[in-house]
DNA sequence: TTGTATAATTGTAATAATTACAAATTTAAC
DNA sequence: GTTAAATTTGTAATTATTACAATTATACAA
């Protein structure tokens, strides 16, 4: 039994081929891919795959805290395999998302002001090193 | 000269009535409104207002660091007048965004891993106190 | 094994936020 | 006051996401 199948079973999720493939893709492509990227990335191996399924799987995996979603400000979600807590950096030029070590570690309670905290994210924004190289002028 | 006009001039932005009204709205409605809310909120005073203008103004104000945008994961941006640094909490049930005192204060440099940092945000997610009251079952 | 209930996937259509863009209007400079 | 530049407006296009019903696969009992 491969490790993704096992991970899913441990979380009481029946390990359909679609779910395993999405998980595998996220593990092998740690670039915070979008739904589109995930879909295109595994469509070759699962020709009947529907984009709706990718959405469904991602939603399920996030609910079960196996992955996290990251929202930049460009109307596209990015997805990230959960590991050690870390922050993210999103380039406002090209939209790519990078990991950064810098992080906020929240030691507080599960409640803040009466709200139940399920998760948190630290997101930096700016211009990534690649875009800086290309056109440093655009220095908004 | 009112305080919004003054603020805009200080930032070298010509203080059109649309810009002033958006700014005023954000200052008076500190609930992290969406574009839709801002638009509806001032349409009464500016009957010719276009939603495109609201988008334009918000983009400009964010570039000039007068406001911040907050992306939950529901495909809707929220906007916040800049003040003391603070974190945000987004309810995954109703979509509302709340301020929280809890925050990450970044003292590091303006560069991380070669990326130019322009901004950062700390976002908590969970179920807000109102939704908890209504239906505590949905305890994802 | 066979039938049946349940769960998961698929495809299409609908929704909704955002952006592109060109025309119209306003503002500022000379 | 005329002209150029900046801003606003409205429409159309784009794109991500969701809703939903139909199909397919899976699990389980007889």
pLDDT digits (tens, 9 = 90+) for A66-90: 999 999 888 899 999 987 778 899 9
Q: What pLDDT, in 10s, does the model give residues A79-124?
A: 999 877 788 999 988 888 998 887 777 777 788 999 999 888 889 9
A38-55 in b/e burial notation, b at 16+ Cβ within 10 A?
Answer: bbebbeeeeeebeeebbe
Query: CA(A49)–C1'(D22) in Å?
Result: 16
Answer whether any strand C atom is within 7 A of the Cβ of A70: no
Bridge-based pairing of strands A87-91 and A115-127 is: parallel
Predicted confidence at residue B21, as pLDDT, reads 97
pLDDT of residue B139: 41
Per-residue pLDDT of chain B (140 residues; tens, 9 = 90+): 688 998 999 899 999 999 999 999 999 998 899 999 999 999 999 999 999 999 999 999 999 989 999 998 888 899 999 777 788 999 988 888 998 887 777 777 789 999 999 888 889 999 999 888 876 444 43
- Contact list in B for residue A109 (CB cut-off 8 A) is none
| A52 is near strand C: CB distance < 7 Å | yes
Q: For chain A, what is the mean pLDDT?
A: 88
pLDDT band at residue A1, thresholds of 50, 70 and 90?
Answer: low
pTM of the model: 0.78
- In this complex, do A118 and B92 lie within 8 Å of one another by their Cβ atoms? yes
Q: Mutate which of B103, B120, B131 to disrupt the A interface (most A C-beta within 10 Å)? A: B120
Of all residues in chain A, the percent with pLDDT exceeding 90 is 54
User: In whole angstroms, what is the distance from residue A31 CA to residue A80 CA?
Assistant: 8
- Chain B partners of A92 at a C-beta cutoff of 8 Å? 118
Query: Is the minimum CB–CB distance between A82 and chain B shorter than 8 Å?
Result: no
Cβ distance A119 to B124 less than 8 Å, yes or no, reads yes
- Provide the pLDDT for residue B94: 86
Contact flag A132-B112 (C-beta cutoff 8 Å)? no
CB-CB: which of A77, A117, A122 is closest to B73? A77
Partnered with residue A99 across adjacent β-strands are A88
Alpha helices in B1-140 (DSSP H): 3-10, 17-28, 35-43, 51-63, 129-134
B121 lies within 8 A of chain A by CB: yes
- Residue A119 has a pLDDT of 85
- Residues of chain B neighbouring A113 (CB-CB closer than 8 A): 89, 98, 100, 129
pLDDT on residue A139: 41
Q: In chain A, how long is the greatest CA-to-CA distance?
A: 52
């Amino acid at each position: 039994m491969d490790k993704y199948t096992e991970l899913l079973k441990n979380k009481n999720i029946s390990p359909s081929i679609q779910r395993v493939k999405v998980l595998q893709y996220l593990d092998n492509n740690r670039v915070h891919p979008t739904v589109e990227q995930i879909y295109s990335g595994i469509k070759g191996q699962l020709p009947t795959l529907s984009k709706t399924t990718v959405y469904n799987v991602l939603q399920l995996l996030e609910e079960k805290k196996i992955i996290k979603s990251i929202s930049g400000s460009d109307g596209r979600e990015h997805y990230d395999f959960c590991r050690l807590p870390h922050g993210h950096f999103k380039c406002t030029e090209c939209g790519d998302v990078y990991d950064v070590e810098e992080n906020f570690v929240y030691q507080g309670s599960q409640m803040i002001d009466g709200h139940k905290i399920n998760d948190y994210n630290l997101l930096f924004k700016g211009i990534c090193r690649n875009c800086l190289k290309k056109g440093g002028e655009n220095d908004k």
